[in-house]
Chain A
Amino acid sequence: MVGISTTTSASPRITPWRALTWLAAFLVIYPTGQWLLTAGIINGYLYLILVQICIFIIAAVSLNLINGITGQFSLGHAGFMTVGGYMAAVATTFWGLPFPVALLFGALCAGVLGFLVGMPTLRLKGDYLAIATLGMGEIIRVVFENIEPLGGASGFTAIPRPSPLLHIGSKHYGMWGWSLLCTVLVLFVIRQFIDSSHGRACVAVREDELAAETMGINTTYFKVLAFTIGAMCAGVAGGLLAHDISTIAPDSAGFLNSVAILVIVVLGGLGSLTGSAVAAALLTIVNALTSSFTNWRMIIYALLLIVLMIFLPQGVWQGGALLWRRLRWPWARPVGGATDAP
């Protein structure tokens, strides 16, 4: 397939060193951020943006596992986020469970739903799967609208904010540590998954399902596996979001939110985790910067989408790299231009 980066390399890259690198990154970023927050160098507004970036990175990366790595076209990711969010909120608000347990519970619920939905629907291909998952998102929205104990159509409110991961400095800004931890964990798990033999099987399914099946890969198994893992991670993102803004509404399962996540993935480049993370951060920042002019905000967003799709169809990361190369060596022949034959 054209326009999708290859994520596998010839040598196996799973080493204990990688886990240590990720852990070290977390151990550096987390206290630094917490210190900056406590010292007031990062204000409350930036804190909200940072947490949102983390949440959208998780959502985008997990959708990328389904759409970019495994090549299945899901348009219902916001549905899983909403289920995870509601279930985590139920666990903390009604049952008084600690936040990490509640997050895990929300993720499990989203994962189970992903498994149940994925089993039958992943037989469908391309656009048909997109439509089926879109329908699933809308059904989730309608169902939550009608569950009165969970707030009905107006949504579940007054979800308690979690206390910080570790009590370093301020007791406020509790979401920073949790969302960073989850982001690092999800990125690590999905990266490891992609580089494992399971991940390679998923890439094989994406490249050519029929050929993969002929090579003895159980395509249904890997599609459902990727879908379930993606749904679980989306559940984590949903749980974080619900506790971050301390409310969750059925509308968040709708088509528009699923599209918003898909847009991040496509802008970042299908199959590129780095791209997804960069695009998630960029779009969240653009969103925050344009929030003061409400009328023009969606118009800017729409124009951005159209222009980027016409000029950088491989996504900002890969496409940007190609553009950069052409700017530096204008005489070089374009590598995989915008109009590759399908």
Chain B
Amino acid sequence: MTPSELLQQIVNGISVGSIYALIALGYTMVYGILRLINFAHGDVYMIGAFIGYWVSNWLVRSNAYFQQHVALAIFLSVPVAMLGCAVAGVLIERFAYRPLRLAPRYTLLITAIGISFLLEYLMMLLVGPDRQAYQTDPWFSQQCALGFGVVISNQRLVAVTVAVVLMIALELLVHYTKIGKAMRAVATDQDAARLMGIDVDRIITFTFALGSALAGTAGVLIGMQYQIDPLMGVMDGLKAFVAAVLGGIGLIPGAVCGSFTLGIVETMVKGLHVEFFNLRPSLFADGVAFAILIVILLLKPSGLLGKFAREKV
């Protein structure tokens, strides 16, 4: 592998990682507050991808201007997808998770899995199991040179830019606004936060809305690049979750850091063109994410950025 190929793989990895990061942020925020692995989160991302698909298709079909500028139609569908997913996230929290707030952990987890199946198969009923593709825009597939022989297609450049802007916005929101402060307070100690006059239910709802909106954005961004289907959220959701654990679950910078690490490593493994024992490592790319996960969990269970918490009696 030449240095420029290596750089190219890293750039590709960052573009994959930025999508993982947008999904992982939702996982990590919800885990931080409720200690719940929200298995339905990957399906909220799938819903976002489909809302983007419907809205952009509708715009292109109904308006001559958007037929010339498909990319613009897709950008305009992003806020709609964010809004739609935020509503979906809030509804899920309100009707499935809130009644079980005090129930044992397993109950909550199985409910999350139930919601996940429900969303997947309702969507399957609606659109069928086939893969769908967004409208294409020739501008998307143009390559943009970054120097050193490294190129990136415009659609990926857009995806990375949008993702990074949203991550910075989230970081600012969490650290420099009143509601961000309240979110951190609830994550640290729910009861103490309630005693300080914070409306915990409202903060939890807000967290779900925020995380789901980010996942919705990720859905549209992935729809620009790949085909979408009702089960797309299962594997992508799992990997984003792995990324969140990798960086240290419950930590926002951890989710971002873990996602980029996972994206880069995965792309590297896929790009390896060596053979040993008749086995090509590129075929094991899906397993690599989980292998890294297990190694990290064994060496540093709190994740790359996590702090070690000693158990007290």
Contacts and interface: CB of A to CB of B under 8 A. Distances in A.
B99 interface: yes
B173 interface: no
A259 B113 contact: yes
B110 A266 contact: yes
Given A142-B287, A143-B287, A341-B102, A305 B111 contact: yes
A305 B143 CA distance: 47
Given A299-B118, A313-B100, A305 B110 contact: yes
Nearest to A142: B287
Contact of B103 (A124, A142, A304, A313): A313
B102 A124 contact: no
Interface in A1-24: 1-3
Contacts of A339: 102-103
Interface in B181-215: none
Contacts of B104: 1-3, 313, 340, 342
B60 interface: no
A143 to B, nearest CB: 7
B287 A139 contact: yes
Interface residues of A, number: 50
A136 interface: yes
Interface in A294-309: 295-296, 298-299, 301-306, 309
Interface size class of B (residues with CB under 8 A): 35 or more
A304 B121 CA distance: 14
A155 interface: no
Interface in B61-120: 96, 99-100, 102-107, 110-111, 113-118, 120
A205 to B, nearest CB: 15
B125 interface: yes
Nearest to A131: B245
Q: Helix, strand, loop or mixed for chain A's interface? A: helix
B107 A210 contact: no
Interface stretch (B133-141, B159-167, B290-298): B290-298
A325 B107 CA distance: 22
A304 B115 CA distance: 11
A142 B284 contact: yes
B287 to A, nearest CB: 3
B283 A135 contact: no
A93 interface: no
Given A146-B279, A299-B122, A302-B117, A309 B297 contact: no
Nearest to B114: A305
A298 B121 contact: yes
B107 A313 contact: yes
A339 to B, nearest CB: 5
Interface-central residue, A2, A136, A142, A342, by most chain B CB under 10 Å: A142
A101 interface: no
A266 B107 contact: yes
Nearest to A133: B294
A310 interface: yes
Interface in A190-210: 210
Contact of B242 (A135, A146, A298): A135
Contacts of A266: 106-107, 110
Interface in A325-342: 338-342
A217 interface: no
A262 interface: yes
A145 B35 CA distance: 34
A130 B241 CA distance: 12
Contacts of B179: none
A295 B287 contact: no
A120 interface: yes
Interface in B119-134: 120-122, 124-125
A132 interface: yes
Contacts of A139: 287, 290-291, 294
Interface of B: 35, 37, 96, 99-100, 102-107, 110-111, 113-118, 120-122, 124-125, 234, 238, 241-242, 245, 249, 279, 283-284, 286-287, 289-291, 293-294, 297-298, 301, 311, 313
Given A138-B238, A303-B114, 4 more contacts: A134-B290, A136-B290, A299-B122, A313-B104
The 6 closest A-B pairs by CB, nearest first: A142-B287, A305-B114, A135-B290, A302-B117, A302-B118, A298-B121
16 contacts: A1-B104, A120-B298, A131-B245, A134-B238, A146-B283, A262-B110, A263-B110, A298-B124, A299-B117, A306-B96, A306-B114, A306-B118, A309-B100, A309-B103, A309-B110, A313-B100
Interface of A: 1-3, 120-121, 123-124, 126-128, 130-132, 134-136, 138-139, 141-143, 145-146, 210, 255-256, 259, 262-263, 266-267, 270, 295-296, 298-299, 301-306, 309-310, 313, 338-342
